[in-house]
Structure 1
Amino acid sequence: MLMYLNALFVGLLILSNILGVKLFSVGGFVLPAAVIVYVVTYLVTDVIGEVYGREAASKTVKAGFVTQVVAMLFILVAIALPSAPFFEQQAEFQSILGGSFRVMLASLASYLVSQHTDVAIFHKLKQKHGANKLWLRNNVSTMTSQLLDTVVFISIAFYGTVPMSALLAMIGTQYAFKWMVAIIDTPIAYALVKWGRKEQTNSTTMQPEANSFS
């Protein structure tokens, strides 16, 4: 299961960078499409940390950072490659996948701060409460880290380019959406943790049988 969770985590990160250029409106509030994807990454690291430990969660976060940097480099290379004479969508291709260096920097900075904070808070609460209250550490760690993610990203990406009132409105709107998602995904966290622990139990049970044939 750990392999699938890591693959899901990295895939969602890359997808969120691509979807970030699309803006959608709900009830008059404007949000980037990436928000519906990126919030799930906190759920994934919480599940990894709960089932496989803090070190595994930290390694996932570090691997995600490296993957994002590599992906951005390859995207920049793809944009820089000379277009074929019949390829007429270079401007659109660059607009969708390119982004700006400032936005890329904001994304990486907010990722490092928020994801490491999520792992740290989650495991401090686990040390305090033991195996109980998964809902508490899942929600508290996610809500806190997502607040940091939102503030750091929007501040770096848009400070000085939009009025302060608009900046604060963007932070408030995005965080409110992420906060709601954090509450909704709690039952999913319980289901995934149960699945992961069941898999670990089955692996432990089958290990002696495997050794008996060696």
Structure 2
Amino acid sequence: MTDGPSTGTMIPRSLFVYALLYGGLVVLAGVLGTKISEIGPLHVESGIFAFLMLVVLSSAVAELHGKDTADKLVRYGFLPLILSMALIFIVIRMPPAPFWTLQDQFAGILGQGARLQLAGLISYGISQTLNVYVFTKLKGEGSGRAAWLRGLIAGLLSQALDTVLFITIAFYGVVDPGSGQEMPIVDIMTGQIIAKLTLVVVFVPLLITACVKLGQRLDGKAA
């Protein structure tokens, strides 16, 4: 455990480790999301892999330390997210060194418009909050068994909502410069939801179980 600097309270090791991972993954999700990957017949923005870990970590923290702590983790996640956006904005606009010729590629990959950034902030906050709420609500007054099942249900609902919010806010009414027509947000949304939900089913139950067990070991609550 880690001593709190001003209150003398003890921060559980699992919470300390998972909070560090959570903050880093919040930033990484936005960076990875600039690439669209192909997984069999599915096409998915690569940030989903980091975002699935956010779902797993917030659920694990809720299981280990309660809903209030997990909610704080989600809210504090806005800090590295907003700070990283601000730093990227600043660095893109700094003049490149004369011998560095990748300015356009750098700006093209990392630069996002204000609308995309707003969509990311809103979808992150609402979907992660929903994930924690559903995960803990399903637990009720029980002993905490079947964390993997509660995590699966919460992950499915939160990721579906995340996609609907992000695609709608980011692309509703946007005209495709190539075709001159509005972006087909329903088609984009459908493909993304199928891809994300498939990944949730495959990865989230196993990862939540592993993170909860690891957290218990870090806190000295399991052999």
TM-score, length basis structure 2? 0.83
User: Conserved in 2, the CA contact under 8 Å of 1:54 and 1:119?
Assistant: yes
| Counterpart position of 2:51 | 38
Q: Provide the C-alpha distance between the structure 2 equivalents of 1:28 and 1:189, rounded to a whole number of angstroms.
A: 26
Q: Provide the C-alpha distance between the structure 1 equivalents of 2:32 and 2:188, rounded to a whole number of angstroms.
A: 17
Report the more deviating stretch, 190-199 or 164-173. 164-173
TM-score, length basis structure 1? 0.86
What 5-or-longer segments of structure 2 have no aligned partner? 1-13
Of residues 160, 179, 191, the one that matches 1:147 is 160
Flag as ranges the 4+ runs of structure 1 deviating above 6 A.
Answer: none
Shift of 1:64: 1.0
Of residues 12, 25, 28, the one that matches 2:38 is 25
| Counterpart position of 1:200 | 219
Cα-Cα RMSD:
2.0
User: Conserved in 2, the CA contact under 8 Å of 1:79 and 1:93?
Assistant: yes
User: Conserved in 1, the CA contact under 8 Å of 2:160 and 2:193?
Assistant: yes
User: Conserved in 1, the CA contact under 8 Å of 2:26 and 2:81?
Assistant: yes
Of residues 64, 67, 70, the one that matches 1:51 is 64
Query: 3-state SS of the aligned residue for 2:184?
Result: helix
| Structure 1 position 94 matched with structure 2 position 107 | yes
Shift of 1:191: 2.1
Q: Provide the C-alpha distance between the structure 1 equivalents of 2:15 and 2:28, rounded to a whole number of angstroms.
A: 20
Q: Provide the C-alpha distance between the structure 1 equivalents of 2:56 and 2:18, rounded to a whole number of angstroms.
A: 10
Q: 1:202 to 1:135 in 2, by over 3 A?
A: closer
Shift of 1:128: 4.9
Query: 3-state SS of the aligned residue for 1:73?
Result: helix
| Counterpart position of 2:5 | none
What 5-or-longer segments of structure 1 have no aligned partner? 204-214
Q: Provide the C-alpha distance between the structure 2 equivalents of 1:45 and 1:202, rounded to a whole number of angstroms.
A: 19
| Counterpart position of 1:207 | none
Report the more deviating stretch, 151-160 or 126-135. 126-135
Query: 3-state SS of the aligned residue for 2:43?
Result: strand
Shift of 1:165: 8.1
Q: Provide the C-alpha distance between the structure 2 equivalents of 1:26 and 1:136, rounded to a whole number of angstroms.
A: 24
> Aligned letter for 1:99?
Q
Shift of 1:154: 0.5
| Counterpart position of 2:197 | 179
Q: Provide the C-alpha distance between the structure 2 equivalents of 1:38 and 1:103, rounded to a whole number of angstroms.
A: 16
> Aligned letter for 1:196?
G
| Structure 1 position 166 matched with structure 2 position 155 | no
Report the more deviating stretch, 183-192 or 98-107. 183-192
| Counterpart position of 1:8 | 21
User: Greater relative contact order (Cα 8 A, min sep 6): structure 1 or 2?
Assistant: 2
After superposition, the C-alpha distances for 1:151-174 in whole angstroms (9 at most, x for unaligned) are: 000111111125678311221221
Query: 3-state SS of the aligned residue for 1:124?
Result: helix
After superposition, the C-alpha distances for 1:7-33 in whole angstroms (9 at most, x for unaligned) are: 221212211111222122344543212
> Aligned letter for 1:177?
A
Q: Provide the C-alpha distance between the structure 2 equivalents of 1:114 and 1:140, rounded to a whole number of angstroms.
A: 13
User: Conserved in 1, the CA contact under 8 Å of 2:89 and 2:111?
Assistant: yes
Aligned residues: 203
Shift of 1:130: 3.9
